[in-house]
Amino acid sequence: MTRIDFYLLGDGAAGGMNLAACRLTDKAFRLGHRIYILATDAEHSRGLDQLLWTFSAGSFIPHALNSDAADAQLPVLVGHDDPPAVHADVLITLAARVPECFPRFQRVAEVVGNSDVDKHQARERFRFYRERGCELHTHNL
């Protein structure tokens, strides 16, 4: 069964959802996981791709945008569409909806912003996962 972790950003969380996703990616990468970061759209994917190169001076995360030309063997892919089948370890999602591919992942990290809209959408996703028997955890950042 997929483990779902909700990471809730507080009012003072520096850098917002994108930076939190990069930090989670860095931690998961250093632990040896393969990660797919699910962005909201193509522009968001490109922004995350750039941020992964610059968010921390001391980190190096080999990654690429998910595309037909992307090396699916890279440990980190960023995209707004379905991940390749070989990525089934960790899914970090910034999307407002539950990704259809979530059941094939061992872990899903839901990054939740601090706006009322973000919180409402996260509650809906939480209920969805709970109704399917997923193991749920919440973390305040």
How far apart are the C-alpha atoms of 22 and 51, rounded to whole Å? 8
Condensed to tens digits (0 to 9), the pLDDT of residues 88-126 reads 899 999 999 999 999 999 999 999 998 899 999 999 999
Is 13 or 123 the better-scoring residue by pLDDT? 123
DSSP state of 20: H
How far apart are the C-alpha atoms of 131 and 80, rounded to whole Å? 25
pLDDT band of residue 141 (cuts 50, 70, 90) is confident
What pLDDT is recorded for position 70? 65
Condensed to tens digits (0 to 9), the pLDDT of residues 33-74 reads 999 999 999 999 999 999 999 888 888 899 989 875 667 778
pTM above 0.85, yes or no: yes
Domain segments of the chain as ranges: 3-140
Residue 140 has pLDDT above 80, yes or no: yes
pLDDT band of residue 15 (cuts 50, 70, 90) is low
pLDDT band of residue 135 (cuts 50, 70, 90) is very high
Do 110 and 120 contact (CB within 8 A), yes or no? no
DSSP state of 85: T
> 3-class DSSP state for residue 91?
strand
Do 6 and 138 contact (CB within 8 A), yes or no? yes
Tell which residue, 75, 81, 41, has the closest CA to residue 59: 75
Average pLDDT over residues 76-82: 93
The CA–CA distances, whole Å, from 105 to 5, 35, 79, 127 equal 12, 10, 16, 18
How far apart are the C-alpha atoms of 116 and 58, rounded to whole Å? 34
Q: Which residues pair with 38 in a beta bridge?
A: 79, 93
What pLDDT is recorded for position 67? 78
How far apart are the C-alpha atoms of 99 and 83, rounded to whole Å? 10
The CATH number of the structural domain formed by 3-140 is 3.40.50.10110
